Amino acid sequence: MAQIRAENVEKHFGHVQALGRLHLEVETNEFVSVLGPSGCGKTTLLRIVAGLVPPDGGTVYVDGEPVTGPRPNTTLVFQHFRLLPWRTAEDNVAYGLRLRGMAKRQAREEVRPYIEMVGLEGFEKSYPYQLSGGMQQRVGLARALAIDPEILLMDEPFGALDAQTREVMQEELLRIWNATHKTVVFVTHSIDEALVLSDKVVVMAARPGRIIETIEVPFPRPRPTNLRADPVFAQLRTRMWELLRTTEPEETGVAGG
Amino acid sequence: MDRAEDPRLVWGLRIGFALVVLAVWQVTAVRLGENFFAAPGAIVSSAVALLRSGELMHYFVPTLEVLAWGFLLGLAVGIPIGLAIGRWRRLYWVSEGPINLFYTTPLAAVIPIILVILGFGTTTKVFVVFAFVVFSVLINSAAGVRNVDGDLLELARSYGSSEPMLWREILIPSALPFVLVGIRIGIGRALIGAVVAEFYAGISGVGYLIIYYSNRFDVASALVPVGMLIALGVGSTAGLKRLQEWLTPWASEARV
């Protein structure tokens, strides 16, 4: 049974149909990327799976139960990090544990392995404004991992980083995923990122937001570092590019009509 | 700035400018006649005389007490109510109009009425200071909570935060810089409130001292308590700034 199952999920914003009868299944421990142009509803889909907004129609099931609100076994990683500016890196990582009633000192002890996992040693006492974007997202990632969720929902987590930092973070995420094996839904508009990271890529189109194709990524794990040189990579890349290009909304299209 | 600031140059210029102003003031006052235009030297000798006789402290201590009580009451009432108004929209809808009304009321105009109700004692003065302080603190506290980053509220929701933890981890730290701004404005308003109340309610405090010496055309002596009030305002504002840097390092250093 799929760990996440979205059935006929619909969402409207005013007259705009953000998602139209969308169907999605994600297996336990599977890494699925949702790839699509901006405005295709991929973030909306993620927010519905997270229980932050209710769908207008259809249901999302997690572990067979309908989602009615945020769940303790699911955490989000955000594009713009959303760290608490008034807390140090380690206290930001400890946020989830603190909310669960753990004392500050104990929470700091508990998050040590996660701080090491994401490579934040030596920056425990730094405030977010003292950290680079990449380091801030390491904090964001450690915060999500620290409550040991089964499902990680990642909303363009590396979208605000420069190209080089982005690739470093992708490698870090692969390494962490290999060690922890979470179920991951990863929203991105980068084809390369989706291919490097995922078991399965779901390609979406806009107006209404819908899935037009699901592509299995055949590369072995752990992923070789020269993956981008693989001819199959180039092939899949071209195919996804074609898919995205043909579904790009026309200039003359009736936006929101 | 094209060059790094040399603190010796900065302070040299500041002190030099102050000396020039004082010199011009002294010369002008002596030329115009010191009856109506006190010279710096005359103010200093009046201050020494007032301090020696104990008169200054005799009048200044009651004012300090009024200030402290009114100010603390203003914070104790203004901060929690402001935070609550910032958090709960219904409370905001109900209170927005009345608060703006009270905030814009020229409080000095109602002091005679307050005197009628509360009498000529300390209670009136404390109440006036309180009234001068409470609204600026309240309005800024409410604005602080209302200005919280919506993304952080959603973060809290996605992590299943309880209401007390939401206050502790997000709402209060987020509102703190605003609350401190409200307090800083409140300091200035408290000083105005205390003196104006003493002008009306008389016979004690530095307000009375100022009126007393002004009526005798002793401008130099009247300016001594004014100087004390300025020193008090400047001192507490500077202290608050230090407190702000210590309490909210992210808010000040983030802009460097």
Q: Would you list which residues of chain A are within 8 Å, Cβ to Cβ, of chain B?
A: 50-52, 70, 72, 75-76, 78, 80, 82, 84-87, 95-96, 98-99, 127-129, 147
Taking CB atoms and an 8 Å limit, are A78 and B152 in contact across chains?
no
Residue A170 has pLDDT above 50, yes or no: yes
Residue B2 has pLDDT above 80, yes or no: no
pLDDT given for residue B62 in this prediction: 92
pLDDT given for residue A249 in this prediction: 55
pLDDT given for residue A1 in this prediction: 73
Taking CB atoms and an 8 Å limit, are A98 and B165 in contact across chains?
yes
pLDDT band (50, 70, 90) for residue B142:
very high
Q: Each residue of B193-222: pLDDT tens digit?
A: 999 999 888 778 899 999 999 999 888 999
Residue B37 has pLDDT above 90, yes or no: no
Tell me how far CA of residue A38 lies from CA of B34, B140, B154, in angstroms.
76, 38, 21
ipTM above threshold 0.95: no
- A70, A80, A147: residue with CB nearest B157: A70
Sheet strands side by side (includes A4-13): A16-26, A4-13, A57-62, A65-66
What CA–CA distance (Å, rounded) separates A245 from A205? Answer: 10
Residues of A in contact with B248 (CB under 8 A): 86
Q: Length of chain A, please?
A: 257
- Count of other CB atoms within 10 angstroms of residue B204: 19
pLDDT given for residue B253 in this prediction: 52
Residue A7 has pLDDT above 90, yes or no: yes
Q: What is the mean pLDDT of residues A70-80?
A: 94
Six-digit token string for B33: 């006649």
What CA–CA distance (Å, rounded) separates A137 from A123? Answer: 13
Q: What is the mean pLDDT of residues B154-160?
A: 96
Task: Kindly tell me the burial class for residue B179, based on how many C-beta atoms sit within 10 Å of its own C-beta (0-12, 13-18, 19 or more).
Answer: buried
Give the helix, strand, coil percentages of chain A, each rounded to 5. 35, 25, 40
Q: Which of B147, B148, B158, B165 to mutate to test the interface with A (most CBs of A within 10 A)?
A: B158
**Is the Cβ of B255 closer than 8 Å to some Cβ of chain A?**
no
Residue B232 has pLDDT above 60, yes or no: yes
**Is the Cβ of B157 closer than 8 Å to some Cβ of chain A?**
yes
What CA–CA distance (Å, rounded) separates B199 from B124? Answer: 12
Question: What does the DSSP 8-state code read for residue B96?
Answer: H
Please choose, from the candidates B153, B154, B182, the residue with its C-alpha nearest in 3D space to the C-alpha of residue B170: B153
pLDDT given for residue B144 in this prediction: 95
What CA–CA distance (Å, rounded) separates A151 from A76? Answer: 9
pLDDT given for residue B250 in this prediction: 85
Residue B255 has pLDDT above 50, yes or no: no
- Count of other CB atoms within 10 angstroms of residue B37: 15
Given phi > 0 = left and psi -120 to 50 = alpha, else beta, which region is A35? beta
For residue A149, what are the contacts with CB-CB under 8 A and spacing of at least 6?
A72, A73, A74, A75, A182
A110-124, A239-253, B26-40, B230-244: which range is least confident on average? A239-253
Residue A222 has pLDDT above 70, yes or no: yes
Taking CB atoms and an 8 Å limit, are A50 and B158 in contact across chains?
yes
For a pLDDT cut of 90, what percent of chain B falls above it? 71
Residue A256 has pLDDT above 70, yes or no: no
pLDDT given for residue B3 in this prediction: 63
Q: What is the mean pLDDT of residues B121-135?
A: 93
Six-digit token string for A18: 């953000």
What CA–CA distance (Å, rounded) separates B60 from B58? Answer: 6
What CA–CA distance (Å, rounded) separates A201 from A77? Answer: 19
According to DSSP, the β-strands at A31-35 and A183-188 are: parallel
Residue B21 has pLDDT above 90, yes or no: yes
- Count of other CB atoms within 10 angstroms of residue B253: 12
pLDDT given for residue A148 in this prediction: 93
Q: Which CATH number is B38-253 given?
A: 1.10.3720.10
**Is the Cβ of B252 closer than 8 Å to some Cβ of chain A?**
no
Query: The tokens 């299209």 sit on which residue?
Result: A253
Query: The tokens 């404390």 sit on which residue?
Result: B126
Residue B78 has pLDDT above 70, yes or no: yes
Q: Each residue of B171-182: pLDDT tens digit?
A: 999 999 999 999
Average pLDDT of chain B is: 91
What CA–CA distance (Å, rounded) separates B133 from A126? Answer: 36
Residue-by-residue DSSP string for B124-160: HHHHHHHHHHHHHHHHHHHHHHHTS-HHHHHHHHHTT
The topology (CATH level 3) of A4-227+239-247 is Rossmann fold (3.40.50)
Q: Each residue of A96-150: pLDDT tens digit?
A: 999 999 999 999 999 999 999 999 999 999 999 999 999 999 999 999 999 999 9
DSSP H helices in chain B: 7-32, 40-52, 55-87, 89-104, 107-118, 122-146, 150-158, 163-166, 172-201, 205-215, 219-247, 249-253
- In chain A, the residue whose alpha carbon lies closest to the alpha carbon of B252 is A129
Strand partners, A205: A210
B159 Cα to chain A: minimum distance (Å): 6
pLDDT given for residue A157 in this prediction: 95
pLDDT given for residue A257 in this prediction: 32
Q: What residue spans define the domains of chain A?
A: 4-227+239-247
Q: Length of chain B, please?
A: 256
